[in-house]
A and B are shown apart, each in its own frame.
Chain A
């Protein structure tokens, strides 16, 4: 603390209080803050570039959002328990490569469609389950902090993805796979959007209506009290990390279908993007607060932002700066919300 603080100690406190009151808002104002920001953002980019508000681009945004929404939901599940998963991005890369390798092994582009698709799904989910199990056991049973645990598994996953693919894209994804996870549509809606909506619906039900979901909120709110009340905290934490990785694997399969190959760098910045989306949407890193709606809104926000920045030709590295700033902003907002409680 500096001398200036000492001379006028009451001042910063007063600003703090007023600042947090504005940012916290009251009940519904807080609920509506993000949707309003979304509309303003879209309108702003629309003024800057004609292509932003075209039907084509809006559908594109919706489709893009469905991928990020899946990852944000995955992240949200572990953030609810006071954790997070930095290995989510590399897990996506690893699943992508593994699924493509499985399909290539069966016969590549000529393979029997159904067998290849099943092989990809099996390989992808098995690897993701192993990854989630690893994270869950290290965090919950061994008691390593989620930061360190998933930072470690992040590197492991990057290493695995690069090694098994030799660092090159894995070709040989059959058409049936791309049809199922990318090209298909139901009632005119692209399959990615349909999958995201279905998964979101199921996850929302799981979180709000099942013993498992209820327990995740209680664990995140007060892990000690949860343990004293007989909730199997350690086991459920492992499940949460497995569920996170499984949702990431689903997203990875969809992205692999879109690119048409297994990509060892597919996950790229997804760890950070997914955490950003969840937190900006209102999931609290302190645990116990958040839901499917918040993850989806956050994903939409991040997607509109990067879509707009792409169309207005903002440099990719500048976009990274913006994304980093948004994560920090989201956490600061969360802190203010909690302080004002």
Chain B
């Protein structure tokens, strides 16, 4: 890190901020991505951009880092008007972006990527030793556990993220742009990053930080600018704004058409869980129930135990204590096979790892949880004709495109893979459905189909549990909504009380309670 020498001198409060955007508009064919947006970032300030997907945050940081010019408006950096900015020029004057989509070349090593396009050389010969020393110094300074000689395509996502951050910090940095930098970092690495951010701030570097995570915004932000539908909604002082205020500003409008209107007709209790604790400690002392004919939502942050709760009910997470009762019958020794026979299905969040056998055809992936049924086999011998004539129509109703059930699942898109999972649920008679992050990794069109599928299940009288980290999703789908925090139920919200503000406030109340305890 070599912050510009000028920025380390004490700042004059009346001087122009490091970055000033005024009235910036960006129009793409058919889309107004940014509409008259103002933004200023001072040296030594961390400024959070807050907004839903599609609110214009990415477009804005792309304009600032020179990826494309604004259609109109003024863009000043360091007191100078920025015209005809390119990514290269932006870097040269100290604007360093770290995008979510990495800019690393997969077949090169970390250190080659760090110096990509700015290799050090003497008389046309690369100064490999010098570059390596500098790369080592930088990585050591950042405290990253990263091998500068490793090829980028051999690294996992967290390490690629570290390489990307290191790359952004290699040259002279005056404005650092971080787009959800912690999305793939562990707790410890996140801690390192936060220390680093504090150091950069004290050196007078301005930081634009994009995140949805309230905790990070609380920990880091000086000011927050809320964007919605490409417009600047408000810039607030992070010290005084409340979380619910931010969320309200961010969402603004009410639920959109993405979610179908679902008629819940709560009936018998299908799942009742008492004082449940899992062996890994992720779920502790949970009471929970779900009824037929309604969707029961479970909201919470990543790692709060919501996923483990449904996995324990299905029988893939060992239970330490407590009881699970299905339709009035207390069940001991849970395992997937007997759960399926009791009519319980589980849709894993990670379909590639836990859901699908990728090199096998769609047909086998759909029938694989039902092969114990007489309609698919007789005395252990698969009834191939019957299998084909049962699975074909199932995938047809799910609108599999193209409708060829002999293709390997590995060739399918995320949306079609989820359809294979849904098809599996239709391959046998089930009436309790546990969805773990049902819309993760699939596009909007496929999401709508998944929601429609869930709607049909519930309206036909099934009990559905939806576990999701996406608040709008669980809020829109659920009839009753549990909020989990650190393995416990923090709140149960119903009817009018099911609002984003209430969910978030129950997190923080629980957090405060834990701190007090």
Contact at A230–B355, with CB atoms within 8 Å?
A: no
Contact B337 A210 (CB under 8 A): no
- CB within 8 A of A212: which of B346, B359, B360, B380? B380
Interface hits, B399-450 → A, CB 8 Å: 410, 424
Q: Which of B54-91 contact A (CB under 8 A)?
A: none
Q: Which residue of B lies closest to A222 (CB)?
A: B357
In the bound complex, residues from chain A placing their C-beta under 8 Å from that of B371 are 211, 214-215, 231
Taking CB as reference atom, which chain A residue is nearest B424?
A229
A9 & B109 in contact (Cβ 8 Å cutoff): yes
Is B307 interfacial (CB 8 A cutoff)? no
Residue in A9, A217, A230, A288 whose CB lies within 8 Å of B339: A230
Q: In the complex, are the beta carbons of B380 and A210 less than 8 A apart?
A: yes
**A219-255 interface code vs B (CB 8 A; 1 in, 0 out):** 0011011111111100000000000000000000000
Known: A1-B149, A221-B357, A341-B359. A228 touches B336 (CB 8 A): yes
When distances are taken between beta carbons in the complex, the residues of chain B under 8 Å from A6 are: 109, 112, 128, 149
Q: How far is the CB of B240 from chain A (nearest CB, A)?
A: 47
Say what secondary structure dominates the interface of chain B. Answer: mixed
User: Known contacts A227-B336, A229-B336, A232-B337; is A218 also within 8 Å of B360 by CB?
Assistant: yes
Is A15 an interface residue, CB under 8 A from the partner?
no
Taking CB atoms, residues of chain B closer than 8 Å to A226 are 357, 368
Beyond A217-B360, A341-B410, whether A211 also contacts B380 by CB under 8 A is: yes
Chain B residues in 8 Å Cβ range of A215: 368, 371
Q: Are A228 and B380 in contact, CB atoms less than 8 angstroms apart? A: no
Residue in A13, A209, A231 whose CB lies within 8 Å of B381: A209
Tell me which residues across on chain B come within 8 A of A209, comparing CB atoms: 381-382, 384
Across the two chains, which residue of chain B brings its CB closest to A232?
B337
**Known contacts A227-B336, A230-B336; is A221 also within 8 Å of B359 by CB?**
yes
Indicate if A3 sits at the interface (CB-CB under 8 A).
yes
B356 in contact (CB, < 8 A): yes
Q: For B337, list chain A residues within 8 Å (CB).
A: 230-232
Please tell me if the beta carbons of B364 and A214 are within 8 angstroms of each other in the complex.
Answer: yes
For B, the interface residue count at a CB cutoff of 8 angstroms equals 37
Known: A1-B149, A224-B354, A225-B354. A231 touches B360 (CB 8 A): no
Q: Which residues of B contact A225 (CB under 8 A)?
A: 353-357
CA distance A9 to B151 in the complex (A): 9
Q: Is A10 an interface residue (CB 8 A)?
A: yes
Q: Which residues of A contact B346 (CB under 8 A)?
A: 228
Q: Is B357 a contact partner of A218 (Cβ separation < 8 A)?
A: yes
Which residues 13-45 in A have Cβ within 8 Å of B in the complex? 13
Determine if B325 is an interface residue (Cβ-Cβ < 8 Å): no
Contact with B along A284-327 (1 / 0, CB 8 A): 00001100000000000000000000000000000000000000
Complexed CA–CA distance, A305 and B347 (Å): 50
- With a CB–CB cut-off of 8 A, which chain B residues contact A212? 380
CB distance from B310 to the nearest CB of A (A): 12
A217–B384 CA distance with the chains assembled, in angstroms? 16
Give Cα distance in the complex from A215 to B364, angstroms.
10
Instruction: Determine if A211 and B369 form an interchain contact, defined as CB atoms under 8 angstroms apart.
Output: no
Contact of B340 among A1, A9, A230 (CB under 8 A): A230
**Chain A residues with CB under 8 A of B380:** 210-212
Contact A221 B360 (CB under 8 A): yes
Residues in chain A near residue B335, CB distance under 8 A: 230
Looking at A7, A212, A225, the one whose CB has the most chain B CB atoms below 10 A away is A225
**Number of cross-chain contacts by CB at 8 Å:** 91
Query: In the complex, what residues of A have CB within 8 A of residue B149's CB?
Result: 1, 6
A219 to B360, CA, bound (A): 11
Report the minimum CB–CB distance from B152 to chain A (whole Å). Answer: 10
**Once the chains are docked, how many angstroms separate the CA of A212 from the CA of B382?**
9
User: Are A228 and B357 in touch, CB under 8 angstroms?
Assistant: no
Q: In A112-169, which residues have CB < 8 Å from any B CB?
A: none
Determine the chain A residues whose CB is within 8 A of the CB of B377 once the complex forms. Answer: 210-211
Q: Which of B360-385 contact A (CB under 8 A)?
A: 360, 364, 368-369, 371-372, 376-377, 380-382, 384
With A9-B109, A211-B380, A215-B371: A228-B364 Cβ-Cβ less than 8 Å = no
Asked if B230 lies at the interface with its beta carbon under 8 angstroms from chain A, I say no
Contact A228 B348 (CB under 8 A): yes
The answer to whether A218 and B368 have CB atoms under 8 Å apart is yes
Residues of A within 8 A of B109 (CB): 1, 6, 9
Given contacts A9-B109, A10-B107, A222-B356, contact A210 B382 (CB under 8 A): yes
Cα–Cα distance between A121 and B107 once the two chains are bound (Å)? 58
Q: Which of chain A's residues have a CB closer than 8 A to the CB of B368?
A: 214-215, 218, 226, 229, 231
User: Complex formed: what's the CA distance from A232 to B380 in Å?
Assistant: 14
Q: Mark B111-151, 1 if CB is under 8 A from A, else 0.
A: 01000000000000010100000000000000000000101
> In chain A, what residue has the closest Cβ to B112?
A9
Query: Shortest distance in angstroms between B375's beta carbon and chain A's nearest beta carbon?
Result: 13
A283 CB to closest chain B CB (Å) equals: 14
Interface string of B321-341 (1 = CB under 8 A from A): 000000000000001110110
Indicate if B358 sits at the interface (CB-CB under 8 A): yes
- The answer to the question of B301 belonging to the interface, with a C-beta cut-off of 8 Å to chain A, is no
Whether A13 and B336, one on each chain, are in contact in the complex, defined by CB atoms closer than 8 angstroms, is no
- Report the bound CA distance from A181 to B356 in whole Å: 44
**Contact partner, A228, options B126, B316, B358, B384, Cβ 8 Å:** B316
B128 near A7 with CB under 8 A, answer: yes
| Nearest-CB residue, chain B, relative to A13 | B107
Q: How far is the CB of B218 from chain A (nearest CB, A)?
A: 37
**Which chain A residue lies CB-closest to B369?**
A229
Query: C-beta contact mask, A197-219 vs B, less than 8 Å → 1, else 0?
Result: 00000000000011110110110
Alpha-carbon separation in the docked complex, A228 to B515 (Å): 37
Q: How far is the CA of A341 from the CA of B372 in the complex (A)?
A: 31
Shortest distance from the beta carbon of B127 to any chain A beta carbon, whole Å:
12
- Which residues of B lie under 8 Å from residue A1 when comparing CB positions? 109, 149
Proximity string of chain B (169-196) to chain A, C-beta cutoff 8 Å, 1 when within and 0 when not: 0000000000000000000000000000
Chain A residues lying within 8 Å of B269, measured Cβ to Cβ, are none
Tell whether B108 is near chain A: CB-to-CB under 8 Å.
yes
Chain B minimum-CB-distance residue to A208: B382
If A218-B368, A228-B346 touch, whether A210 touches B381 (CB-CB below 8 Å) is yes
User: Which residue of the partner chain, among B339, B356, B382, contacts A214 with CB atoms under 8 Å?
Assistant: B382
Interface pairs (21), CB distance under 8 Å? A7-B128, A209-B382, A211-B372, A211-B376, A211-B381, A214-B382, A215-B368, A217-B357, A217-B364, A218-B368, A221-B357, A225-B353, A226-B357, A226-B368, A227-B316, A228-B348, A229-B336, A230-B340, A230-B372, A231-B337, A232-B337
Give 15 new A-B contacts, CB below 8 A, not counting A6-B109, A230-B336: A6-B112, A9-B109, A210-B380, A210-B382, A211-B377, A214-B368, A214-B382, A221-B359, A221-B360, A226-B357, A227-B316, A228-B336, A229-B336, A230-B372, A231-B368
Q: Which residues of A contact B (CB under 8 A)?
A: 1, 3, 6-7, 9-10, 13, 209-212, 214-215, 217-218, 221-222, 224-232, 288-289, 341
In the A-B complex, the 4 residue pairs with the closest CB atoms: A221-B357, A230-B337, A229-B369, A230-B336
